[in-house]
Amino acid sequence: MKGVSIRMKQNQSSASTSPNATGFSPGFASLGLEAPLLTTLETLGYEEPTPIQREAIPPLLAGRDLLGQAATGTGKTAAFALPLLQQLGHGITARPATLVLVPTRELAIQVGEAVQRYGKELRTSVLTLYGGQPFGPQLYALKRGVDVVVATPGRALDHIRRGTLRLQAVKLVVLDEADEMLDMGFADDLDAILEQTPKTRQTALFSATMPPRIRSIAHRHLRNPVEITIAKEPVKAGTTPRVQQTAYIVARSHRGAALARVIEMADAKSALVFCRTRLEVDDVTTMLIGRGQRAEAIHGGMSQGQRDRVMQAFKSGQTSLLVATDVAARGLDIPHVSHVINYDLPASAEVYVHRIGRTGRAGREGTAITILDPREQRLLRSIEQHTKARVNVLPIPSVADLRAKQLDRLQGAVVETLQQGGLEVCRQLVERLSSHTAVDVAAAALKLLVRAQGGERTEQEIPGIPVRPPDTRRPMQDGVRTGGRPQRGSAGAERRPTGRPLDAGRRAGMARVYVGAGQAAGIRPGDLVGAIANEAKINSAMIGAIEIEERFSIVDVPEALAPRIIQLLGRARIKGRKVPVRIFHE
């Protein structure tokens, strides 16, 4: 496998981000993307391409195979989705024209939604295939025809063997998170799937790491690829500012409510709220203003006069919250920021450090808060490793916590007013209400104040999300025991599936489930974890140690979920056949 090699740093920036005469960002327009996609990007509020997008989009548009190395969260999905959508817009009628293979159900859903979003102007049809879904709707959609199939390898192979997924007309195959697919034991499945596609297809392989086994699969399936490495720039220990770092994990549907809750609890006097896109900035600002916050937006779509007005209001204290994109925040001269809040986790450790470096300056202590999507926990751990600093993951404050904080704040304001004096006029009003007790009068006055400040607003509890253990990197493969002996990962370290050392013992609250198939039936760790995660609809990180013996396997699962997992797994097929599943009694 020979190819052109490109290497660049993660935090390389483009030359300009202001819209050109067409209204499109020259960063994206200069990559060769056409008007429908540029319109979509403009509508979504994207301001400039990330490094992987800047380097990957042109060769993919030119029809070249590509081998890309970049960390999770760097924008790889758009890097391959935009070129594939542009190709579909050129009149490709064969269906499916594109196959995207991903390791997990969660990523399949995420990529499928992204391709659908980017392809809205082109009316692109997208189908996601993963285990645990009923086959009926999938069969109907495949028979009707779709442009793009996003699938996990196991479910894709199931359809290929059934004859319901035919890949003879595929023009482009994307292998996303290839190292994770290999870690999960999908190497043979990938080979089998790619053998069903035309030799003339275009292939793009993306991986966070580039060990020999990835090189091997690239050598077998890619033709003279362009190689791209988005290198991470190490962050030295001790270079991060004096910042208390906290994260809250919430489902995407609750992010806005979580942000508002966290801001109200923090009582930030001058906070920068970072969002990824201009559209997000506008939506978040509108939401915060609607909740009584003094918030202003700043992004690349604003005139210089608008930016100057917003900055003056923020510096003078008229505005306490400045909601911005990374692009718009560059070069802002802000002497003191009490809080930096990441509504989106940035794509790299370098950007994260640059963001939180805006607080905790001049010897002051600052606070950095991140609203984290459950799928971004691994990226958070990567940021911790690079910054050599711990990010404390806390539960979202409850409604009771919020009410208590509001009352504490109100009490402090009342005490301060009492100390300042000058209460004669108000005391006269209290005397006129002498038919009521002084306590009742004060309580009524405070209630009016709380109401005026929005304190009687109806609040809903925000569901918590399980926290993935700190050292989790590969949710499926690490530390599975095969035949009674620990299976070693690529680094030679013995690990459990959740990334904890084997000698740590079984976690409290876990039950052991017996599965009546083992090595003799070709059972692999990925088969068991994939089946349990997809059938029971649970996060794979919740699955504990796995032991694969000759004729059976043992899997640790959360005790509370064990009956449901046993019931659903007993109905499912593992490696094409039903197997007995029950609680394992030691």
The residue segments making up the domain with residue 419 are 399-451
Residue 220 pLDDT: 92
Residue 483 pLDDT: 40
Please say which residue of 210, 231, 252 terminates a domain. Answer: 231
Q: Name the pLDDT band for 4 (thresholds 50, 70, 90).
A: low
The answer to whether residues 97 and 24 belong to one domain is yes
Q: What is the per-residue pLDDT across 234-291, written as a single tens digit (0 to 9) for each?
A: 544 444 556 888 999 888 888 899 999 999 888 778 899 999 888 889 899 999 988 8
Three-state DSSP at 134 gives coil
* Order of strands across the sheet that contains 510-515: 485-486, 481-482, 546-548, 553-558, 510-515, 581-583
Residue 22 pLDDT: 42
Give domain status of residue 476, yes or no: no
Q: What residue ranges in 455-560 does DSSP mark as E strands?
A: 481-482, 485-486, 510-515, 546-548, 553-558
Please say which residue of 410, 429, 451 terminates a domain. Answer: 451
- Bigger pLDDT: 295 vs 476: 295
Q: Name the pLDDT band for 336 (thresholds 50, 70, 90).
A: confident
Give domain status of residue 468, yes or no: no
**Which segment, 121-135, 300-314, 443-457, is predicted with the most confidence on average?**
121-135
Give domain status of residue 201, yes or no: yes
Residue from 541, 516, 242 nearest 375 by CA: 541
The answer to whether residues 102 and 226 belong to one domain is yes
The answer to whether residues 330 and 389 belong to one domain is yes
Residue 478 pLDDT: 31
Per-residue pLDDT for 226 more than 90?
yes
Residue 156 pLDDT: 93
Among the residue ranges 280-289, 311-320, 472-481, 564-573, the one predicted with the least confidence is 472-481
Among the residue ranges 21-35, 153-167, 308-322, 354-368, the one predicted with the least confidence is 21-35
Domain with 521 in it: what CATH number? 3.30.70.330
557: left (phi over 0), alpha (psi -120 to 50) or beta: beta
The answer to whether residues 487 and 433 belong to one domain is no
Q: What is the per-residue pLDDT across 379-435, written as a single tens digit (0 to 9) for each?
A: 788 788 777 778 888 888 888 888 787 777 777 777 777 777 787 777 777 777 778
Cβ neighbors of 518 (< 8 A, separation 6 or more) are 548, 549, 550, 551, 552, 553
Q: What whole-number distance in Å separates Cα of residue 290 and Cα of residue 274?
A: 18
Residue 66 pLDDT: 95
**Which segment, 85-99, 224-238, 318-332, 397-411, is predicted with the most confidence on average?**
85-99
Please say which residue of 199, 231, 263 terminates a domain. Answer: 231
Q: What whole-number distance in Å separates Cα of residue 509 and Cα of residue 530?
A: 21
**Which segment, 7-16, 318-327, 400-409, is predicted with the most confidence on average?**
318-327
The answer to whether residues 12 and 97 belong to one domain is yes
Residue from 368, 381, 343 nearest 467 by CA: 381
The answer to whether residues 404 and 423 belong to one domain is yes
Q: What is the per-residue pLDDT across 38-64, written as a single tens digit (0 to 9) for each?
A: 988 888 878 788 889 999 999 999 999
- Asked if 468 and 496 count as a contact pair (C-beta separation under 8 A), the reply is no
Q: What is the per-residue pLDDT across 183-211, written as a single tens digit (0 to 9) for each?
A: 778 888 999 999 999 999 999 999 988 88
Mean pLDDT value across residues 74-89: 90
Give domain status of residue 23, yes or no: yes
Q: Name the pLDDT band for 98 (thresholds 50, 70, 90).
A: very high
Residue from 157, 198, 180 nearest 102 by CA: 180
Among the residue ranges 379-383, 466-470, 496-500, 519-523, the one predicted with the least confidence is 496-500
Q: What whole-number distance in Å separates Cα of residue 505 and Cα of residue 545?
A: 9
Mean pLDDT taken over the chain: 79
Beta 66-69 vs 5-9: how paired, if at all?
A: unpaired
Per-residue pLDDT for 367 more than 70?
yes
Give the total number of structural domains in the chain.
4
Among the residue ranges 8-22, 237-251, 357-371, the one predicted with the least confidence is 8-22
Q: Which residues pair with 202 in a beta bridge?
A: 172
Residue 242 pLDDT: 67
Residue 13 pLDDT: 39
Tokens of 431: 């005397």
Give domain status of residue 469, yes or no: no
Distance, CA of 288 to chain centre = 22
The answer to whether residues 102 and 203 belong to one domain is yes
The answer to whether residues 296 and 211 belong to one domain is no
- Bigger pLDDT: 392 vs 491: 392
The answer to whether residues 384 and 270 belong to one domain is yes
Per-residue pLDDT for 298 more than 70?
yes
Mean pLDDT value across residues 554-577: 85
Give domain status of residue 237, yes or no: no
The answer to whether residues 205 and 115 belong to one domain is yes
Percent of the chain past pLDDT 90, that is, above it, reads: 21
Give domain status of residue 473, yes or no: no
The answer to whether residues 335 and 296 belong to one domain is yes
Place of tokens 């030295």: 236
Domain with 104 in it: what CATH number? 3.40.50.300
The answer to whether residues 576 and 427 belong to one domain is no
Residue 537 pLDDT: 78
Give domain status of residue 460, yes or no: no
